[in-house]
Amino acid sequence: MRMRTALPLATLLLVLVGCAGEKAPVAAPAPVTTTQAKNAPAWVDNEEIPDGLAAVGIAQPNVMGDKGLQRTVAVADARNKLAGKLKVRVQNMFSQLNQQVTTASSDAGKAIKVDVMNRVIENVTRQVIDQELAGTNTRGTWTDPTDGSLYMFVVMTKDSMDTALASSAKAQIKKEIAQGEVSLNTALDKLDAAIAASNKSAN
């Protein structure tokens, strides 16, 4: 009699233990990036801004522990990245300008020459980069608590950049016109539209 009672009890215990061993599936935690884990500001991972161009410069700690030097290196890194972005912006602007001038011209013989356009782009790019990089400002700094790396958020405003683009481009175009490139006359009338269009393509 005791044996008969013991068997069902043993079976019941096994069932209960088996049910207890079955755990509900646990959802995997959302991935966290290194900078998020370190409570870094948002601009470290996303440097795009709506009111201009921005770049994040990074500098490792130096052996002398010179914070001023580290800051200088980080700003230089950011400005170098900004120069690359600004060059692309100038190229976009002249691509838009060239399309508008070509469309407006009824005489194919007056299309802007490739070598002339390339020369203007090169000169404008150099002047705007030199001018605008000198006027950049820092919107944020952050030091990585793990390795001491310094992050600098450096920006140039859209209004300042557009003013520099228009001024430099007009000067270069007028210079080429004075040297006989009359086909560029139409470009002066369409410059503002090209700058606005390059703004949209940059975003």
Ranges of each domain in the chain: 42-202
Give the separation between CA 173 and CA 121, rounded to whole angstroms: 10
Highest mean pLDDT among 8-17, 95-104, 107-116: 95-104
- Token pair, residue 176, equals 């080429």
Position 184 scores a pLDDT of 83
Position 75 scores a pLDDT of 95
From 48-57, 170-179, 191-200, the region with the lowest mean pLDDT? 191-200
Count CB atoms within 10 A of the CB of residue 97.
27
- Token pair, residue 112, equals 């802007």
Average pLDDT value for residue range 156-164: 91
Position 172 scores a pLDDT of 93
- Mean residue pLDDT across the chain: 81
Position 98 scores a pLDDT of 83
Position 104 scores a pLDDT of 66
> Do residues 131 and 168 touch, judged by C-beta distance below 8 A?
yes
Average pLDDT value for residue range 181-194: 85
Position 33 scores a pLDDT of 47
Give the separation between CA 69 and CA 71, rounded to whole angstroms: 5
Position 189 scores a pLDDT of 86
Position 30 scores a pLDDT of 45
Position 60 scores a pLDDT of 95
Q: Is pLDDT above 60 for 55? A: yes
Give the separation between CA 172 and CA 189, rounded to whole angstroms: 14
Beta strands, E only, the chain: 52-59, 137-143, 150-157
What's the pTM value of the predicted model, to 2 decimals?
0.74
Position 73 scores a pLDDT of 96
pLDDT band at 41 (very low <50, low <70, confident <90, very high): very high
Enumerate the β-bridge partners of residue 152. 57, 141
Q: Is pLDDT above 80 for 110? A: no
Count CB atoms within 10 A of the CB of residue 65.
9
> Do residues 56 and 74 touch, judged by C-beta distance below 8 A?
no
Q: If you classify domain 42-202 with CATH, what class do you get?
A: alpha beta
